[in-house]
Amino acid sequence: MTTSPKISGRVFSGAQPSGNMHLGNYLGAFKNWARLQDSYEALYCIVDMHAITVWQDPLILQAQIREAAAAYIASGVDPARSILYNQSKVAGHAELAWIFNCVARLGWLNRMTQFKDKAGKNKEKASVGLYVYPNLMAADILLYKATHVPVGEDQKQHLELTRDIAQKFNSDYNADIFPLTEPVIMGEGARVMSLRDGSKKMSKSDPSDMSRINLNDNADTLAAKIRKARTDAEPLPSDASGLQGRPEAANLVGIYAALMDQSRDSVCAEYEGQGFAEFKKALTDVVAAKLAPITEEMARLQKEPDYIDGILLDGAEKARVLAAPVLAEVKRTVGYL
Ligand code: TYM
């Protein structure tokens, strides 16, 4: 248990158990979650209710929930210090999401770029859940009156919507209930791109496994993925301004910088003039060294499903205790008897 005093404020974040956790999740989210738990009371949720907004095979979903828990813990989330649980165990998420469905406006949801990306051309066939997904996300955060939400850059628009919902609720009901949550988007890893296409983010749902480094890839697999990653023919520039207009090159330098807690400028200074064939070797060493302990710990934890289930059960109990007074306050405010 930590003895360091906590800063006032509460952190909430989550990830969908809808496929392989990857380097983008680690650098954009998990790595920062582990850091923030030293200073803040933190809840880290496996958002299984969000996951089913697109089809999930039930047996695979169960395995993926446990795998997500293993990924959080292996990345440094400490269940003794932070609350780790899966969303569907705390009914308050769904209850508050319904109230927010009645607060958020259609026009706001129509602007969400993630819905447009995920629904694609055939949006008539998308689930209604996918459309109202951002309201559930606002409920996740505000159910605990979280003040800080560490995420990758792709979640920025959803967090702006969360603030809009908080503000509208407070103003509609003339009540000062919800805080205006701050996004925490940290460092060079906030937007890790696909290894095959520097204009697309690294994603669980990319059909090409070569586009991402999974947290459970072994050393040979990740070496092959980095070797085959797209780059250009130019050498590394002297500083990061020379990476402009070179998205694939910028991405590889960014991954190195994020893993080593350096800036892109300092990575460029170190490797200035070298070709990407050389740089990729250095990058492979860094990725392998940083990910190996995580991959090993994930594999170890996944052999102990009862241990993981116990942590999730315990986390859900703690989360329910924190959610109860907020939900009661909201229900009173809305006028429920
Ligand atoms: P999800 O499951 O897509 O991703 C989990 C976290 O990983 C970050 N991330 C990335 N960061 C950098 N580069 C990438 N290529 C990359 N891909 C993913 C995401 O930004 C995220 O922080 N809607 C959320 C889950 C969610 C949530 C919440 C988050 C539901 N409720 C409440 C925060 C608070 C999502 O789909 O994340």
Per-residue pLDDT of 175-196, as tens digits, reads 999 999 999 999 899 999 999 9
**Dihedral pair phi/psi, residue 273, rounded to 5°:** 85, -15
Residue 85 has pLDDT above 50, yes or no: yes
Domain ranges of the chain: 10-191+304-334, 216-300
Catalytic residue, from 89, 118, 318, 331: name it: 118
pLDDT tops 70 at residue 232: yes
Q: For residues 238 and 266, what is the distance between their CA atoms, to the nearest angstrom?
A: 9
What does the radius of gyration of the chain's CA atoms come to, in whole angstroms?
Answer: 21
Domain 216-300, CATH: 1.10.240.10
12 in ligand 1 pocket by Cβ < 6 Å? yes
Residue 2 has pLDDT above 50, yes or no: no
Residue 201 known to be catalytic: yes
Summarize pLDDT for 19-52 with one digit per residue, the tens. Answer: 899 999 999 999 999 999 989 999 999 999 999 9
Answer left, alpha or beta for residue 187, where phi above 0 means left and psi between -120 and 50 means alpha. Answer: left
Residue located nearest, by CA, to atom 26 of ligand 1: 14
- Active-site residue, 303 included: no
Q: Does residue 107 register a pLDDT over 80?
A: yes
* Distance of CA 174 from the midpoint of ligand 1 (Å): 32
Closest ligand 1 atom to residue 192 Cα is 13
DSSP labels for 221-241?
HHHHHHHHS---SS---SSGG
Nearest to 145 by CA among 36, 11, 34: 11
Phi, psi of 17 (to 5 degrees): -85, 60
Atom 14, ligand 1: which residue's CA is nearest? 24
Residue 8: what pLDDT? 80
Q: Is the pLDDT of residue 1 over 80?
A: no
CATH architecture, range 10-191+304-334 = 3-Layer(aba) Sandwich (3.40)
H/E stretch holding 85 reads strand 83-86
Q: For position 199, what pLDDT does the model report?
A: 94
Question: In this structure, which amino acid lies at residue 87?
Answer: Q
CA–centroid distance, residue 25 to ligand 1 (Å): 7
Greatest alpha-carbon pair distance for the chain in Å reads 70
**pLDDT tens figures, 109-164:** 999 999 999 998 889 999 999 999 999 999 999 999 999 999 999 999 999 999 99
Task: Say yes or no to pLDDT of 253 above 60.
Answer: yes
CA dihedral for 82, 319, 47, 5, sign (positive or negative): negative
